[in-house]
């Protein structure tokens, strides 16, 4: 499905019921808007890993502008600020009063930025393996320099420079770097579907605004329930980044998953889903 918002077509997909009848009672479930990482990723990276959340919530997946099935647009608009405005426009388009926002990696940066501007429309935040500032970059660079093999160092440089030339080149990056991103999938030979890697969006992020963005000092102004999940072995947004977020956001809860890297939702799926369900249930009231 597409929403024509902010002069472009943004793809979104809906999974699960917002209203259901159970034991003769009408139950209105909370809505979670799911924001992918990258920049340049796709909502398909979450599927089918979040499917079981539909037992307690309705999920709305979004492909950020230029990503996945959404239209490509002016590269000047591939920014953190524009991603925030697109989320708000989609919320209005769908007629949603309040939402949860789940953001993984760069999606978490978008989620926190959305909270800082549009907190009145939030029930809460679900932040998965993310960072509050550009400082994650130096930590990631140091990790690759100390632990990466030759191919990983080569492709990591392309990421830091924002110099990918094609979707195929980004796909090769993820193949080479996969053992760092995920403990589980690095030992899994199961075939994965090809998904679009929006290299222009990725390049724009790493060559410009990701080098300077810093939400740290403003996070104290976020006043909604916030769940933070980090992977102990995360190389690109290490645990220290999530600890910083937890320290700054007053009403936040931090969980560090011992057997996870950056892909926490894949590496410890059952644990991650359980944490999200329990957190949402704690702050959800029957609205029917």
Give catalytic residue positions. 105, 234, 262
Distance, in Å, from the CA atom of 216 to the CA atom of 246, rounded to the nearest integer, reads 10
Distance, in Å, from the CA atom of 137 to the CA atom of 209, rounded to the nearest integer, reads 12
Task: Give the sign of the dihedral formed by CA 98, CA 102, CA 106, CA 112.
Answer: positive
- The verdict on whether omega for the bond into residue 274 sits within 30 degrees of 0, i.e. cis, is no
How many C-beta neighbours within 10 Å does residue 211 have?
12
Q: Tokens for 275? A: 């944490």
How many C-beta neighbours within 10 Å does residue 222 have?
22
Per the CB < 8 A criterion, the answer to whether 223 and 123 are in contact is no
Identify the helix (H) or strand (E) that includes residue 33.
Answer: strand 31-35
Distance, in Å, from the CA atom of 165 to the CA atom of 71, rounded to the nearest integer, reads 19
Look at the chain and count its residues: 288
Distance, in Å, from the CA atom of 137 to the CA atom of 162, rounded to the nearest integer, reads 13
Place of tokens 């994965």: 192
Distance, in Å, from the CA atom of 100 to the CA atom of 47, rounded to the nearest integer, reads 18
Exposed, middle or buried, 141 (CB in 10 Å: 0-12/13-18/19+)?
middle
Q: Tokens for 224? A: 């909604």
Per the CB < 8 A criterion, the answer to whether 104 and 181 are in contact is no
Looking only at the bridges linking them, the beta strands covering 8-15 and 19-22 are unpaired
């Amino acid at each position: 499905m597409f929403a024509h918002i902010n002069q472009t077509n943004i793809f979104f997909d809906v999974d699960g019921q917002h209203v259901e009848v159970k034991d003769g009672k009408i139950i209105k479930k909370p809505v979670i808007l799911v924001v992918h990482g990258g920049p340049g990723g796709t909502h398909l990276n979450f599927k089918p890993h979040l499917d079981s959340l539909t037992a307690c919530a309705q999920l709305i997946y979004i492909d950020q502008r230029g990503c996945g099935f959404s239209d490509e647009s002016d590269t000047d608009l591939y920014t953190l600020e524009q991603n925030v405005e697109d989320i708000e426009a989609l919320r209005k388009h769908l007629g949603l009063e309040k939402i949860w926002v789940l953001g993984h990696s760069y999606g978490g940066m978008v989620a926190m930025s959305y909270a800082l501007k549009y907190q009145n429309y939030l029930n809460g935040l679900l932040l998965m393996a993310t960072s509050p500032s550009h400082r994650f970059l130096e930590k990631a660079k140091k990790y690759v320099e100390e632990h990466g093999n030759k191919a990983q160092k080569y492709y990591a440089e392309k990421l830091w420079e924002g110099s990918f030339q094609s979707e195929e080149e980004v796909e090769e990056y993820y193949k080479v770097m996969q053992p760092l991103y995920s403990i589980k999938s690095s030992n899994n030979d199961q075939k994965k579907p090809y998904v679009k890697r929006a290299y222009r969006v990725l390049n724009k992020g790493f060559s410009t605004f990701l080098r300077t963005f810093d939400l740290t000092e403003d996070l104290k102004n976020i006043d909604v329930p916030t769940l933070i999940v980090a992977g102990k072995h995360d190389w690109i947004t290490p645990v220290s980044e999530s600890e910083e977020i937890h320290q700054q956001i007053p009403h936040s809860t931090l969980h560090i998953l011992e057997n996870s890297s950056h892909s926490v939702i894949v590496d410890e799926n059952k644990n991650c889903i359980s944490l999200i369900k329990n957190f949402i249930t704690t702050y959800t009231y029957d609205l029917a």
